[in-house]
Chain A
Amino acid sequence: MYSIVEKTETAPNTILIKVKAPAIANKAQPGQFIVIMVDERSERTPYTLSDWSKKDGTITFVVNEVGRSTGKLVSREEGDNLYSVVGPLGIPPKIHEVGTVVCAGGCFGIAAILPLARAFKNAGNRVISIIEARACYLLYLERELKKASDELIIATGDGSRGMRGFAPDVIKTLIERGERLDQVIALGCTFMLKLVCEATREAGVKTLVDLCPIIVDATGMCGCCRVEVGGETKFACVDGPFFDGHKVDWDVLGFRKAAYVRQEVDSVQSSKVGVKR
Chain B
Amino acid sequence: MTDVIPTPPKPVRKRVQMPEQLPEVRIHNFNEVSLGYTQEQAVREARRCLQCKKAPCVSGCPVGIDIPGFVGAIADGNLRRAIAIVKRSNLLPAICGRVCPQSRQCQAQCVLGKKGSPVSIGNLEGFIADWERKEGGVKLPAIAPSTGKKVAVVGSGPGGLTVAADCVQLGHKVTVFEALHKLGGVLVYGIPEFRLPKAILDEEVDVLASMGVEFRMDALIGAVLSVKELQEQYDAVYLGLGAGLPYFLGIPGENLAGVYSANEYLTRSNLMKAYLFPEYDTPIRRGTNVAVVGGGNVAMDSARIAVRLGAEHVYLVYRRSREEMPARREEIEHAIQEGVDCQLLRNPTRIIGDGHGNVAGLEIVKMELGEPDASGRRRPIPIEGSEYQIEVDVVVPAIGNGANPLLTKSTRGLKLNKWGYIVADPETGATSMKGVFAGGDIVRGAATVILAMGDGRVASRAIHEYVTANRHD
Binding site for B on A (CB under 8 A): 23-24, 26-27, 37, 41-44, 68-69, 72, 83-89, 216-217, 219-224, 226-228, 233, 235, 238, 251-252, 254-256, 258-260, 263-264, 266-267, 270-271
- Size of B's binding interface in residues, CB under 8 A: 46
Q: Are B280 and A41 in contact (CB under 8 A)?
A: yes
- Chain B residues with CB under 8 Å of A221's CB are 189, 242-246, 263, 267, 401, 404
A68 to B282, CA, bound (A): 10
**Chain B residue contacts of A220, Cβ below 8 A:** 244-245, 404-406
CA distance A246 to B217 in the complex (A): 38
Contact among B181, B223, B242, B278 with A263 in the assembled complex (CB-CB below 8 Å):
B278
CA distance A64 to B261 in the complex (A): 30
Q: Provide the bound-state CA to CA distance between A37 and B182, in Å.
A: 12
A238 to B402: give the CA distance in the assembly, Å.
Answer: 13
19 A-B pairs within 8 Å (CB atoms) are namely A27-B224, A37-B181, A41-B280, A84-B217, A85-B218, A86-B181, A86-B223, A88-B223, A216-B267, A216-B268, A216-B282, A219-B404, A223-B263, A224-B260, A228-B255, A252-B255, A258-B257, A258-B357, A260-B283
Q: Given contacts A43-B281, A216-B272, is CB(A86)–CB(B218) below 8 Å?
A: yes
Give every chain A residue within 8 A of B189 (Cβ-Cβ): 217, 221
Query: Which 10 pairs of residues, A with B, have the shortest CB-CB distance?
Result: A255-B357, A263-B283, A259-B257, A222-B264, A84-B181, A223-B261, A43-B281, A267-B278, A223-B246, A270-B278
Tell me the bound Cα distance from A84 to B404 in angstroms.
22
Closest to A24 in B: B224
* CB within 8 Å for A23 and B180 given contacts A223-B263, A255-B358, A256-B357: no
- A252 vs B19: C-alpha distance when bound (angstroms): 47
**Residue interface bits B268-293, CB-to-A below 8 A is 1, else 0:** 10011100011111110100000000
Binding site for A on B (CB under 8 A): 179-181, 189, 217-220, 223-225, 242-246, 248, 254-258, 260-261, 263-264, 267-268, 271-273, 277-283, 285, 356-358, 401, 404-406
* Interchain CA distance A43-B267 in the complex, whole Å: 12
Q: Given A259-B257, A259-B285, A264-B283, verify A44-B272 contact (CB < 8 Å).
A: yes
Pick the residue among B217, B264, B279 that contacts A216 (CB under 8 A).
Answer: B264
B226 vs chain A, min Cβ distance (A):
9
A223 touches which of B181, B248, B273 (Cβ 8 Å):
B248
**A24 — which chain B residues lie within 8 A by C-beta?**
224
Contacts of B401 in A (CB 8 A): 221
CA A219 – CA B219 in complex, angstroms? 11
B406/A263 in contact, CB under 8 A = no
Do residues B223 and A27 form an inter-chain contact, with CB atoms below 8 A? yes
A263 to B258 alpha-carbon distance, docked (Å): 13
Chain A residues positioned under 8 Å from B356 (CB to CB)? 255
Assembly CA distance A27 to B179 (angstroms): 15
CB pair B261 A43 closer than 8 Å? no
Do B264 and A224 touch (CB < 8 A)?
yes
Min C-beta distance of A227 to chain B, whole Å: 8
Determine the main DSSP class of B at the interface with A: loop
Residues of A within 8 A of B285 (CB): 259-260
A41 touches B279 (CB 8 A): yes
Chain B nearest CB: distance from A263 CB in Å?
4
Contact partner of B181 (CB less than 8 A), chosen from A83, A256, A259, A271, is A83
Closest B residue to A266 by CB, please name it.
B278
A158 to B171, CA, bound (A): 69
Q: Which has the most chain B C-beta neighbours within 10 Å: A85, A222, A228, A259?
A: A222
Chain B residues lying within 8 Å of A41, measured Cβ to Cβ, are: 273, 279-281
Query: Which B residues are in CB contact (< 8 Å) with A217?
Result: 179-180, 189, 267, 271
A256 to B404, CA, bound (A): 23
A222 touches B405 (CB 8 A): no
Task: Give the distance to chain B from A27, nearest Cβ to Cβ, in Å.
Answer: 6
Chain A residue nearest in CB terms to B263: A222
Q: Measured between C-beta atoms, what is the minimum distance from B218 to chain A in Å?
A: 5
Given contacts A222-B246, A233-B254, contact A89 B220 (CB under 8 A): yes
Q: Is the CB of B255 within 8 A of A256?
A: yes
B261: chain A residues within 8 A (beta carbon): 222-224
B223→A69 contact, CB < 8 A: no
CB < 8 Å: which of B242, B257, B263 contacts A255? B257
CB of B245 within 8 A of CB of A68, answer no
Kindly list chain B residues whose C-beta atoms are within 8 Å of the C-beta of A270. 278
- If A37-B181, A87-B224, A256-B255 touch, does A42 touch B278 (CB 8 Å cutoff)? no
Q: Which of B179, B268, B281 has the most CB of A within 10 A?
A: B281
Chain A min CB distance to B233 (Å): 13
**Shortest distance between the CB of A104 and any CB in chain B (Å):** 26
- Cross-chain contact A84 with B255 (CB below 8 angstroms): no
CB-CB under 8 A from B248, the residues of chain A are 223, 233
CA distance A44 to B257 in the complex (A): 19
CA distance A187 to B260 in the complex (A): 27
Q: Which residue of A lies closest to B180 (CB)?
A: A217
Enumerate chain A residues within 8 angstroms of B225, measured Cβ to Cβ. 23, 27
Query: A83 to B280, alpha carbons, bound, how many Å?
Result: 14
How long is the Cα–Cα vector from A266 to B281 in the complex, in angstroms? 10
List of A residues within 8 angstroms of B273 by Cβ: 41
Known: A220-B244, A223-B261, A238-B405. 6 other contacts (CB 8 A): A89-B220, A217-B189, A221-B245, A222-B261, A267-B278, A271-B278
Contact A86 B255 (CB under 8 A): no
Min CB gap B287→A, angstroms: 12
A42 touches B218 (CB 8 A): no
CB distance from B396 to the nearest CB of A (A): 11
A25 to chain B, nearest CB (A): 10
Q: For the complex formed, measure the closest distance between the CB of A23 and the CB atoms of chain B, giving whole angstroms.
A: 5
Give bound CA distance, A7 to B278, whole Å: 27
Q: Which of A27, A85, A251 has the most CB of B within 10 A?
A: A27
